[in-house]
């Protein structure tokens, strides 16, 4: 009996330890190419799906297609099947944005990962949008599936935007509400076109603009891709013009945001009826999904974004660095760095002479 009990306790303890030690490397292994492809097949009409008791093919998600609404319903049902409470919100006329939120232990700090699910075709006819942007949506779904029971430091939202192809009214409206809320945005990650790589060069764009902490996040992301040995060649890209999809909505409010996007290897298949899964490079799609997972995880767990004293000394404008109370105390005590400004998670500057008196929590310094 005692032996049985010991075994039971061991099993319980091991399970507990396993759940607790869900490190990034082991979570990454759970990203499944079959799930990624399956989602794209449904969202681009290659595979039939039952919605409202009727079999349908979602072969178009264009603004004037009735099937766009079915795509929103399917995305919602998929998030609900993972266990998330999910809403469809009308942020702009005839646009339906799908949102699910996972609450973190510091709930007012927010990380968002998003992808637009609407598609486009210049001509009449279906707009399957397999790469643009069923690929990004599928990666968001897969990340949501794997993170469901992982404890996060910060709240994490999964968003499927409508209206990207017609001017981004929905993400604009969402960000307007966000900046007037009590949430502090740690960062937004946008996924838009993840699966075209015709020559296996693994090149992928990490898009940023110099707002908030975007540049620093983009740079760190490059490092993570190499630390986790992704089979990718990420390149930092910044454009002087606007046109980076829903990222623009965040940058225009000065918020931290980066986007991941392929290099449009099948440019002729964009925004027409030829954007089909047959052009996908599956290995590349999988690697990009892993890349997105790493960035989301690092942001939402807050791991590895700690203080680098040299960066503090550089004091670049708007280059905020996240730090806990203890890290700030260490900076003062061990490195004798005292010349910095402290902001709380809402971005409000704190006048604190003695850092030991700071309440426990997460801060931003520069
Ligand atoms: Zn797109």
Residue 361: its pLDDT value, please? Answer: 66
* 275 in the same domain as 353: no
Q: In this structure, is residue 10 part of a structural domain?
A: no
133 prior amide bond cis, ω within 30: yes
Residue 26: its pLDDT value, please? Answer: 94
27 Cα to the center of ligand 1, angstroms: 27
DSSP state of 80: H
Residue 357: its pLDDT value, please? Answer: 79
Chain segment 210-221, per-residue pLDDT in tens: 888 888 889 989
Q: In this structure, is residue 148 part of a structural domain?
A: yes
Residue 14: its pLDDT value, please? Answer: 44
* 343 in the same domain as 203: no
Q: How many domains does the chain have?
A: 2
* 344 in the same domain as 297: no
265 Cα to the center of ligand 1, angstroms: 14
* 355 in the same domain as 212: no
Q: In this structure, is residue 4 part of a structural domain?
A: no
Chain segment 259-271, per-residue pLDDT in tens: 999 999 999 999 9
Residue 51: its pLDDT value, please? Answer: 95
Neighbours of 318 (CB within 10 A): 14
253 Cα to the center of ligand 1, angstroms: 21
pLDDT beneath 70, residues of the chain: 1-22, 303-320, 344-349, 352, 359-361
190 Cα to the center of ligand 1, angstroms: 10
Q: In this structure, is residue 106 part of a structural domain?
A: yes
Q: Which helix (H) or strand (E) holds 179?
A: helix 169-179
Tell which residue, 255, 238, 243, 273, has the closest CA to residue 175: 255
311 Cα to the center of ligand 1, angstroms: 34
127 Cα to the center of ligand 1, angstroms: 12
98 Cα to the center of ligand 1, angstroms: 16
* 282 in the same domain as 324: no
58 Cα to the center of ligand 1, angstroms: 17
Residue 365: its pLDDT value, please? Answer: 81
168 Cα to the center of ligand 1, angstroms: 11
* Its pTM surpasses 0.85: no
Q: What are phi and psi of 164, to 5 degrees?
A: -70, -40
Residue 340: its pLDDT value, please? Answer: 81
154 near 110, Cβ under 8 Å? yes
* 79 in the same domain as 54: yes
19 Cα to the center of ligand 1, angstroms: 36
270 Cα to the center of ligand 1, angstroms: 9
235 Cα to the center of ligand 1, angstroms: 19
325 Cα to the center of ligand 1, angstroms: 40
* 50 in the same domain as 83: yes
Q: In this structure, is residue 2 part of a structural domain?
A: no
* 356 in the same domain as 289: no
173 Cα to the center of ligand 1, angstroms: 18
116 Cα to the center of ligand 1, angstroms: 7
Give me 317's structure tokens: 């404008």
For 171, residues 6+ apart whose C-beta sits below 8 A from its C-beta are: 91, 97, 114, 116, 161, 163, 164, 246, 249, 250
234 Cα to the center of ligand 1, angstroms: 19
* 319 in the same domain as 286: no
Domain with 29 in it: 22-301
Residue 160: its pLDDT value, please? Answer: 98
Residue 160: strand pairing partners: 98, 115
Give me 160's structure tokens: 């499927």
């Amino acid at each position: 009996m005692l032996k049985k009990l010991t075994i039971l306790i061991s099993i319980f303890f091991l399970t507990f330890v396993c759940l607790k030690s869900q490190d990034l490397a082991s979570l990454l292994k759970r990203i499944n190419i079959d799930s990624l492809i399956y989602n794209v097949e449904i969202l681009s009409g290659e595979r039939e799906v039952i919605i409202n008791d009727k079999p349908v093919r979602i072969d178009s998600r264009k603004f004037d297609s009735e099937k766009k609404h079915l795509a929103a319903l399917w995305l919602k049902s998929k998030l609900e099947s993972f266990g998330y409470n999910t809403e469809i919100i009308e942020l702009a006329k005839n646009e339906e944005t799908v949102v699910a939120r996972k609450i973190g232990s510091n709930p007012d700090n927010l990380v968002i990962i998003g992808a637009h699910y609407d598609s486009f075709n210049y001509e009449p006819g279906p707009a399957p949008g397999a790469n643009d942007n069923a690929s990004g949506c599928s990666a968001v779904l897969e990340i949501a599936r794997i993170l469901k029971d992982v404890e996060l430091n910060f709240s994490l939202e999964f968003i499927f935007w409508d209206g990207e192809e017609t001017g981004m009214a929905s993400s604009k409206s969402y960000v307007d509400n966000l900046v007037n809320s009590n949430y502090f945005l740690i960062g937004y990650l946008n996924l838009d076109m993840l699966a075209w790589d015709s020559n296996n060069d693994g090149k992928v764009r990490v898009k940023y603009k110099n707002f908030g902490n975007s540049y620093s996040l983009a740079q760190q992301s490059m490092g993570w891709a190499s630390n986790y040995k992704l089979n990718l060649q990420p390149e930092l890209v910044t454009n002087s013009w606007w046109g980076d999809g829903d990222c623009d909505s965040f940058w225009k409010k000065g918020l931290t945001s980066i986007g991941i996007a392929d290099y449009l290897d099948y440019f002729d298949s964009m925004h027409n009826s030829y954007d089909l899964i047959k052009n996908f490079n599956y290995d590349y799609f999988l690697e990009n999904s892993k890349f997105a997972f790493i960035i989301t995880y690092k942001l939402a767990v807050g791991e590895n974004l700690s203080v680098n004293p040299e960066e503090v000394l550089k004091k670049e404008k708007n280059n905020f660095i996240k730090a806990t109370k203890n890290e700030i105390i260490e900076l003062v005590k061990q490195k004798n760095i005292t010349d910095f400004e402290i902001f709380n998670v809402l971005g409000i500057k704190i006048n604190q002479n003695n850092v030991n008196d700071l309440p426990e929590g997460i801060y931003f310094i520069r």
